Homo-oligomer: A and B are copies of this chain.
Amino acid sequence: MVIEILRIGQRLVRDDRVTTHVALVARAFGASKIYMNEVNPEIKNTLNKITETWGGKFEIEFITNWKKVIKEKKANSRKIIHLTMYGESINDLTSSLQKEEKILIVVGAEKVPREIYDIADYNVAVGNQPHSEISALAVLLDRIQKGNQFVTKFENPSREIIPTKKGKNVIMNKTMDK
């Protein structure tokens, strides 16, 4: 499955850290790319460092026109999944979503433009209680990939964790101070 994320609507600096976590979840849970608007450009460095250390490929693109991104993706037969607490229950949609091949997941901040609801192929609620776009994205990605995102290897890491019952076991593949 090809998975990309579109983060829209951040206006407040206080959302910087939340947006960083959204991007980290996207990367760790198997998305290949995130598009974002209105963010602190520092976020790109943060994510690039993470990718350099922990491996794999992950792309960040800053955009100004989110509608154009959605339009292009739709034209390219990509399904648009909008995460919203007002949508249909993920419990009812999981099996349909698992069958999709190319998706763009739209992750809004507190307020999103009304039109998103109509443009989306799916409006998915990860529960109808308020929580976090970070948790909503993670649960969606976990469900649609059936946990297989945690089996995928991240290629060419500098550091790699060996899962262990107690404590920490980390392999250093390269020197970090190059």
Give the number of copies in the complex: 2
Which residues of chain A in 136-155 are interfacial with respect to chain B, using CB atoms and an 8 Å cutoff?
136-139, 142-143, 147, 149-151, 154
Chain A contributes a number of interface residues (CB within 8 A of B) equal to 55
Interface centre among A21, A118, A129 (most CB of B within 10 A): A129
Contact with B along A104-127 (1 / 0, CB 8 A): 000000000010011000010111
Please report the C-alpha to C-alpha distance between residue A15 and residue B16 in the assembled complex, in whole angstroms.
Answer: 11
Q: What residues of chain A have their CB less than 8 Å away from a CB belonging to chain B?
A: 14-15, 17-18, 21, 24-25, 27-29, 50, 54, 85-91, 94, 114, 117-118, 123, 125-132, 134-139, 142-143, 147, 149-151, 154, 160-161, 163-170
